[in-house]
Structure 1
Amino acid sequence: MAQVGIDPMMVSVDAGGELESIINRIEGERQKLYALARVYIGRDEDIEDVFYQSIIELHRQSGKRKRRKSIASVFLENCRRIAGRSGTSEGEDAFWVLRQLDEADKDAVALVYLKGCTQEETADLLDITIDEVKARLYRGIRKLREDMGFGTAFKGCEHYQKHYVDYLGRTMDRPEKVDFEIHIYHCSDCQDDLASYQEVTFALDDLIRNAALPAGFMERIRSRLNEREARREKRKKKRKSIWLSVAGVFALLICTGFVTGGFAKLYYSYTEEFEPLRPYLQHNLAERLDLVSESEGVKMTIKSVVADDMQTLIFYEIEDTKEDNRYIMQAYEGVYIENELDVMNMERNPQDFSMPVDQDEIHNEQKNIYRGTMKLRPVGVDKGTIKMNVARLMKLNQDPSLGEMYARGAVFAEGDWSFEIPFEKQSSQEHKIDKEIDLDGIKVRIDKLTIAPTSTVVQYSFQNQQGNTRVEFLLLESLSDGENKVVADMYGSNIMDVFNTQENWTTLSTSFDSFYFDKPEELDIKFNSLHLSVEDQQDIKLPDPKELPTSFEYAGSTITINEITEGNPAKLSLTLEVTEDRIFEQLNYGFHRDYEQNESISFGMNGEGVLMDKDGNIHEMGSYEYNPLDRPRYFEKTQELTLHNESSDADVSIKTINIDGYTTTKYVDDHVKVTLD
């Protein structure tokens, strides 16, 4: 494993300067900032990255004249960006219940009740009105009250509920406050409602107090900042670019180019080893860069970059000069874009995962070299430089029987590879479609189709509510122009943050390989599946543990209760019958609890399941090889439900299971043809 060893005591962090001032401010708020991060992120390693990258961003802003972002704003942006990498066990994390809130409500609750921002500051950070902040806070606390186990049977007067936030926050005007207190004094329903609301805010205060930072947390961040400064000084002295020489072939092709006029296409077809890069070079959409950085025997070369409105593709090669290892680079996993806010379009969701390139398909037989691409956000400016720092690379398997995928145990090479990558944004072709169809009783609209050099993106909307069924996702399968067919990027679907004039509609986008060089006049869009959440409530009164096992029917299937264990945590063991005609894939649970006092209860679940293909055949996990585009359904077959009492050591007693509904998948085989203007 390649590593960089730098003595953190060798470099002082700008003592007495702006950076030291920023670090001191962060340390002064570290408890609240750590609690804020825990709302979005479960792993301490990722939270450490939030602190580290936020300090760097705040320091970079300090030298600019434009309006600077606040600490809370920068932290919130980084929390959202890194949140997808978190992997926290539900039953062990007191912040889990906050992560289940709607994103808008979660932001408001986290900023006000954990970070301590005022309503005005929160409105400014989220770019919404103060009234909307209050509405989000009320919704969030009400949902937390239910999920934390405080109950749902509260009947406060609707006219006065809107004042709870201001009253408890002591921001209420005196005339309204007097009227509110008089009403509360005479209304027992509002007394109970307000008290339960306040109990939730007290529980959030406890979360802050009990969210202890890991030992050495800030010390490690300071050490990383020291190492960064050392690397920056080192790069100033050693940075260089290595350009490959192909003099003999070049001279021959120059002559050919003068005769045929096809110099660029012919030249790159012979000299570019990495086939996915060739068409971009041949059509003058990219240029060779061959930027090189080496750390402890691992050499990385940025071969080229293609940037457009959809994404940014980095073409690279990694060579282990000491051993036969292949390493891959993944965006935001040890990769940091230093000037991301300046050059990237932050409104677009990043493609966090880039599928490994099959080295056999590109005829690379060298076991110590990997050639691949990495996806980043699209650029937000027409021309500029991407400042990219790479701290670690992930090792790939070399065992042919396992396929070209990550080595087990996630083996990394750590080091320091840094680049300044020049780019120029390429134009895209946007086609407005606005074509509506009926898909299994659900209205679907193809909004637009964008053909960019790096990808073709279909934006579409669908009606998300149909009676007691909610459509969570509608997945596309393929695009075809009659001659060429490309399948959907399984990691390239995003919920679009657009305004729908029609109520209960959701907008998605799905990416495909590009038709940019084919210039199609018509495309056929094939749909794959609908992912549904169905409301189907059923309460099951649990029997005496001595009567177990016992079974009950739900949605036409048999569920067996194997074991009930009271304690802290309380546990419930279930077996779910799996048959070809089982309707539900996963169950959505709720619990009715009758405790002597209000308790903060967290809910966790784990178990095992099986896969079912489109033909109804059942396969055990780990033994079924399939094409991801087949999208087999995952059915839970065993479950262990756990309830933790977070507020005390008192035992939890489960008396009733409440099944709120279930999720299921419906395969579709519909097509729609769209004409491009």
Structure 2
Amino acid sequence: MIPAKIEPTSITAAIREKSEESIFDWFDLNKQSFYTLGWSYLGNQQQMEELFYQTIIKVHKELPRFKRETSFETWVTSIFIHICRKLSEDRSLLTRVETETRQDIFKALDQLKEYEKDAMVLTYVKGISKEEGAHLLQVSVEKMKELLFSGIQSLRNEMGDGSLYNGCKEYQKDYIDYLERTLDRPKKIDLEKHIYHCQECQADLATFQDVMLTLVNLTDRMEDLHVPSDFMENIKDRLAVKEKHRQQKNKKRIRKGFVFSGIFAILIGIEFFTGAFSKTYYTWSEKDQELRAFLEQDLGESLNLEAESNGVKIKIKSAIADEVQTLVFYEIEDTKEDNQYVMDAFDGVFVENDFEIMNTAAYPRYYPPDLEAAVNNEEKNVYQGRISLQPLTSDKGTIKLKITKLHKLIRDTSEKNGLVAYGGMESETGKWNFEIPVTKQPSVEYALDEETIVEGIPVRFDKLIIAPTATVLQYGINIEQREKRLDVINFNNLEVNNKKLKADSYGSSFLETTYDENWIPMQSHFDPLFGEKPKNINVQFESTYFTFEELKTIELDEIQEYPHTFEYAGSTMSIDKVEVGQPTKVVISNHENRSYESLNFEVIGEDESEIVSMEMDSEGVLVDKHGVEYNMNEPISYEEIEQPRHFITVFNTKLHPNTAGEKVVPKRLVIYGYNAMKYLDDVVKISVE
């Protein structure tokens, strides 16, 4: 789905090029709206600073995944809300002081269910449309209305009003549209006739309206909530300190790396004589092959910490920590039924003391459920997996891990090991608490000095980091060409000393470092390489993702009939329909001769300020490297498709007016550019300094 506002590519292009500093500047310009949004979740200034600080860092880290299929502000808001939730859960960890001046309405909002509160805050505090709010929460517009209705009812009860009123259910669903004056006229007349004769609905609607007015008044009061004068400066200072600390750590790491590489041969020799029994023991006792490899290299220890809740037992088998991440291996057993559950590091998993022992600026890596592993196909009620947590800031520590939710795996019985649903479908809640001792293992860094050309764009390789849990390749992408930008490089593998290390499909990200202004720093993760000094390196490319800037304007008011075809970027496109109404609908399609995956465009009305938002639903097709198309309405295992490409074939656009009751008359279609994936098979040989 492509949501509300489509921003010109120049906005995100500038952010990409100026990196974290530019993201801070963007937040500085938009601080008021985000400050009021954050205050709806959090209770004090310290938490608010932490919220902005973490969001800026996470937006910077996640920017490679932003494909401009949504507005930048909407995408940032989704990240902002996610961190709001986390900090509101961990509120007591930051401070025990709760502001006395926090209004009763906020305290009542805090008691709502998570999605009810999100819907209320986004609509009545952030002030976004129901359509955009539905996209942010990944629900339908109807579900969004249901959340608002149930949220207002719950809020009414929390504030001590409404428990005695029971209106007719068939009319309650229309309360919000009626009070917001957006209800269709026939339904409006029917509701008013009913209310005239129904005293229960009169009282019910009146108290419902009181709560909505309280929310509207809250919005007005929130506009007077000023951002403290030193608020953004404090955050900027923290970012500067983090950058300085990172540079110092890099210098220390390089020095340690040379020392470590000098003594590594001695350690290997010792292991040859003393580690034979250890290797035999772990081969016999540990079924998880990846964990077994770490234990055999003496990079961690067996822990087997256990906790049980509601008949579900979790065992923490081991934890491996280094500069890249803290990798936690676990086993989950359903002792009552034949269910398999997995952990999601981003939902229901919290480190209570993360601000004390972990690098909160880092972002955990994502590991999808491993359904192919033999150990996960032996028993129907046991699953073994791993999650990534942030790396440690010190050499040793104890992780206080709190788990409140597990996600149920549902396999496709028609296709062996196929995954139908994971996360958001079915879950198990409970309380599983652990204290996990960890020791951070050292990493070795090697400077690289190699440059190549990828589809006409320079790419340079700067550093190779060999850590216990991953091999990391750091590189830079040149951004001097404005009309064509290389956004993402996907690697197939990294061959080191004739050993092929598979690339992590989810392991590419921006690198927090100081770079030449004409280069974007990136890094990609590969399988770990134990105890070897690289002599020769071959980098195998797989594909790249480009953004092309190619401006085209089509005057819609000059088109006599639809569908209307036109040529763009080597493809024949069609404007299938323009339907003026509430909202106005514009449908654009491209079913044949596709040369790109998606478009960056917007529709402009007669008065360029009359459109408050642009909502889009898209239809598409999944195509593998060989041109085979897959039905996206059926279960798909993306990992089994060779280098898939997702082509958007239909853009269903809805234009919402700035003024309620009016209609948007589209004047022109402006296409700013497009995104396209290119397959590669190049191999670059790199020398090690």
Give 1:484 deviation, angstroms.
3.0
Among 380, 392, 410, the residue aligned to 1:397:
410
Query: Are 1:367 and 2:377 counterparts?
Result: no
Among 235, 256, 266, the residue aligned to 1:125:
235
State whether residues 300 and 318 of structure 1, in contact with CA within 8 Å, keep that contact through their aligned partners in structure 2.
yes
Amino acid paired to 1:358: L
Q: Distance in 2 between matches of 1:571 and 1:349?
A: 39
Give 1:668 deviation, angstroms.
1.9
Q: Distance in 2 between matches of 1:523 and 1:273?
A: 31
Query: Are 1:57 and 2:93 counterparts?
Result: yes
State the SS of the aligned residue for 2:279.
helix
Change (3 A) 1:50 1:258: closer
Give 1:620 deviation, angstroms.
3.8
Amino acid paired to 1:49: R
Query: Are 1:489 and 2:599 counterparts?
Result: no
Give 1:349 deviation, angstroms.
2.0
Change (3 A) 1:91 1:312: same
- Structure 1 match to 2:478: 463
- Structure 1 match to 2:429: 414
Give 1:406 deviation, angstroms.
5.7
State whether residues 309 and 452 of structure 1, in contact with CA within 8 Å, keep that contact through their aligned partners in structure 2.
yes
Change (3 A) 1:304 1:28: closer
Q: Which has the higher contact order (CA 8 A, sep 6+)?
A: 2
Q: Distance in 2 between matches of 1:506 and 1:333?
A: 31
Gaps of 5+ in 2: 1-38, 56-72, 99-117, 137-221, 241-270
State whether residues 557 and 577 of structure 1, in contact with CA within 8 Å, keep that contact through their aligned partners in structure 2.
no
Matches within 5 A, 1:372-383: 372-383=385-396
TM-superposition CA deviations, 1:396-427 (whole Å, max 9, x none): 12445262536366210110001010000001
- Structure 2 match to 1:605: 616
Q: Distance in 1 between matches of 2:378 and 2:428?
A: 21
State the SS of the aligned residue for 1:559.
strand
State the SS of the aligned residue for 1:674.
strand
Give 1:263 deviation, angstroms.
2.2
- Structure 2 match to 1:480: 495
Q: Distance in 2 between matches of 1:435 and 1:360?
A: 37
Give 1:525 deviation, angstroms.
0.9
State whether residues 396 and 404 of structure 1, in contact with CA within 8 Å, keep that contact through their aligned partners in structure 2.
no
Q: Distance in 2 between matches of 1:87 and 1:262?
A: 60
TM-score, normalising length from structure 1?
0.65
Amino acid paired to 1:472: D
TM-superposition CA deviations, 1:179-238 (whole Å, max 9, x none): xxxxxxxxxxxxxxxxxxxxxxxxxxxxxxxxxxxxxxxxxxxxxxxxxxxxxxxxxxxx
Among 649, 654, 657, the residue aligned to 2:669:
657
Give 1:116 deviation, angstroms.
2.9
Amino acid paired to 1:446: F
Matches within 5 A, 1:438-453: 438-453=453-468
Give 1:519 deviation, angstroms.
4.7
TM-superposition CA deviations, 1:448-471 (whole Å, max 9, x none): 011111110111101124241122
State the SS of the aligned residue for 2:375.
coil
TM-superposition CA deviations, 1:34-89 (whole Å, max 9, x none): x9999744499847624523522322699xxxxxxxxxxxxxxxxxxxx9xx9999
- Structure 1 match to 2:30: none
Change (3 A) 1:613 1:498: same
Amino acid paired to 1:56: S
Gaps of 5+ in 1: 1-22, 63-82, 98-111, 131-256
Give 1:277 deviation, angstroms.
1.2
Change (3 A) 1:295 1:29: same
Query: Are 1:540 and 2:554 counterparts?
Result: yes
Matches within 5 A, 1:631-646: 631-646=643-658
Give 1:612 deviation, angstroms.
3.0
Matches within 5 A, 1:87-486: 92-93=131-132, 116-127=226-237, 262-351=276-365, 353-358=366-371, 360-362=373-375, 365-400=378-413, 401=415, 403=417, 405=419, 407=421, 410-481=425-496, 483-486=498-501
Change (3 A) 1:505 1:329: same
Which deviates more from structure 2 when the two are superposed, residues 397-406 or residues 470-479?
Answer: 397-406
Give 1:24 deviation, angstroms.
12
Q: Distance in 2 between matches of 1:621 and 1:478?
A: 28
Change (3 A) 1:338 1:348: same
Give 1:578 deviation, angstroms.
2.3
State whether residues 358 and 391 of structure 2, in contact with CA within 8 Å, keep that contact through their aligned partners in structure 1.
yes
TM-score, normalising length from structure 2?
0.64
Q: Distance in 1 between matches of 2:298 and 2:485?
A: 46
TM-superposition CA deviations, 1:332-377 (whole Å, max 9, x none): 21001111111111232222x2121236433751111111111112
Query: Are 1:585 and 2:597 counterparts?
Result: yes
Matches within 5 A, 1:536-575: 536-543=550-557, 547-575=561-589
Q: Distance in 2 between matches of 1:583 and 1:523?
A: 34
Q: Distance in 2 between matches of 1:457 and 1:44?
A: 28
State the SS of the aligned residue for 1:492.
coil
